[in-house]
Amino acid sequence: MRFWLAVVLTGIGTGIGAAALTRLLELVQRLMWGGNGTDILDAAQHAGAWRHILVLLGAGLLTGAGQIILKHLSSGNGIDTTAAIWFHAGRMPAWRTLGSAVLSVIIVGMGASLGREGAPKQAGAVAANFFSDLGKLSDEQRRLLVACGAGAGMGAAYGVPLGGALFSLEVMRGMLALRYVLPALIASMVATAVSWLALPDAPTYLIPAYSSSASCIVWALLAGPIAGVVSVGYVRAITWADRTKPRGWQRLIAPVIVLGALGAVSIWFPQLLGNGKDISQLAFTNQAAPVLLLALLALKPLATVLCMRSGAPGGLFTPTLTVGAMLGAVLGHAWSWFWPGVPPGLFAVLGAAAVLAATTQGPISTVVLMMELTGRDRSFILPLLLVVATATIVARTIEPRSIYDARLTDEEMAARQKARDRPAP
């Protein structure tokens, strides 16, 4: 009973944290860029050139100072959720983790090219640790509860309770065992319901009712392996960025240089700012020019990797989805020359799912997440399954690491794989 009470309380705490962090993000965007605080692209397009540079330089200074302060908040384990779950029984330093969550939300609101879901995930992990201590849970129960809390944070942040539950098991815990399903579902359901008291209950992306066709099915079979190879390159770039983060006094300088440069480039490409949700929405609804999509296919992953390399904290879920949307849209426009008739927006949706599944190595959670994020259940399910499966198979064959394994050493990866291969107790 202590465990199930901890599951419910973790969901409540995670939902409150996700709502508070989302409102903080909107407040920062409104103060820094103007507008309504929910559409950074529209606000940045109407902002002057100097605002782009000054806001991002401020984000760089805040990142450098924040990282140094956070470094001294705890001398224990790091704040990477994946490593904590697998090698520290889920234990994470509470104040340092929460501080990193708040810092990441602020700098993403200021325009850093990272995701906002990292903060609610960390808040969920901290809530799970707190209630694990309170209930004196075992290490195995704590490990599961922290994974459930992280997935619940994802579910609450984007209003995707089922996808968040599957994400916590398939990606964070690495096991889709039956005995784990119910705690994950309850935590994510409670967190999402609580967050809906303050956040809108609506799909993140509004798309037309696309339908399957022979053309998009053949495209999915051909584009899936391409997305898998691109995903491998992206994962390896993320791993390089994490392993070469600045140390010492460079923690102050590197974020200022990188984010300042991002501010300068964003004068011409404001789509690089933030997590990429706005440009993905345009790609999904056929409102982005092919030349712009091609440019962003190169610039957006570069901006995200360099932001990580500078030491800026933040999530990778939405930026990765955006990279996939750009790839799918570009390949879709090319495909239309050979077999016209399919809206380019559908290719963008399929590409987003393919890259997201291949980089997280969570095909089941990705399919459900894309359905919940778009509010579409089965209108294009066949090409969606095909492109996700082929991309994940190719990526997993070449590179066993996912974007959430970037901080794990090769020895830790081998130990994790050995643990995942063992049947669940």
Task: For residue 204, tell me if it sits in a domain.
Answer: no
> Which residue from 275, 242, 235, 237 is spatially nearest to 361, judged by alpha carbons?
235
* Amino acid sitting at position 339: W
Total domain count, the chain? 2
73 and 154 share a domain? yes
CA dist 361 and 173 (Å) reads: 12
283 and 337 share a domain? yes
Backbone angles phi and psi of 206, in degrees to 5: -100, 115
Q: Give the residue-averaged pLDDT of 348-357.
A: 98
Does this model's pTM top 0.85? My answer is yes
CA dist 383 and 224 (Å) reads: 10
User: What band does 79 get if pLDDT is binned at 50, 70 and 90?
Assistant: low
Task: For residue 181, tell me if it sits in a domain.
Answer: yes
User: What band does 80 get if pLDDT is binned at 50, 70 and 90?
Assistant: confident
154 and 258 share a domain? no
178 and 261 share a domain? no
> Which residue from 248, 245, 259, 244 is spatially nearest to 68, judged by alpha carbons?
248
> Which residue from 276, 237, 251 is spatially nearest to 108, judged by alpha carbons?
276
230 and 147 share a domain? no
Tens digits of residue pLDDT in 94-146? 999 999 999 999 999 999 999 999 999 999 999 999 999 999 999 999 999 99
Task: For residue 312, tell me if it sits in a domain.
Answer: yes
251 and 174 share a domain? no
Task: For residue 243, tell me if it sits in a domain.
Answer: yes
User: Is the confidence at residue 217, as pLDDT, over 90?
Assistant: yes
125 and 220 share a domain? no
> What's the mean per-residue pLDDT of the chain?
92
285 and 401 share a domain? yes
User: Is the confidence at residue 292, as pLDDT, over 90?
Assistant: yes
Task: For residue 207, tell me if it sits in a domain.
Answer: no
The residue whose two tokens read 């809390």 is 149
40 and 180 share a domain? yes
Residue 342's CATH number: 1.10.3080.10
364 and 235 share a domain? yes
From 166, 195, 224, give the residue that closes a domain. 195
27 and 109 share a domain? yes
Tens digits of residue pLDDT in 230-245? 999 999 999 999 999 9
The residue whose two tokens read 């579409």 is 376
From 195, 226, 241, give the residue that closes a domain. 195
Domain ranges, residue 336: 214-419
Supply the pLDDT for residue 419.
66
Task: For residue 401, tell me if it sits in a domain.
Answer: yes
From 195, 223, 250, give the residue that closes a domain. 195
Q: How many CB atoms lie within 10 A of CB 257?
A: 15
> In Å, what is the CA distance from 389 to each residue of 86, 246, 309, 351, 404?
26, 37, 30, 12, 19
Task: For residue 405, tell me if it sits in a domain.
Answer: yes
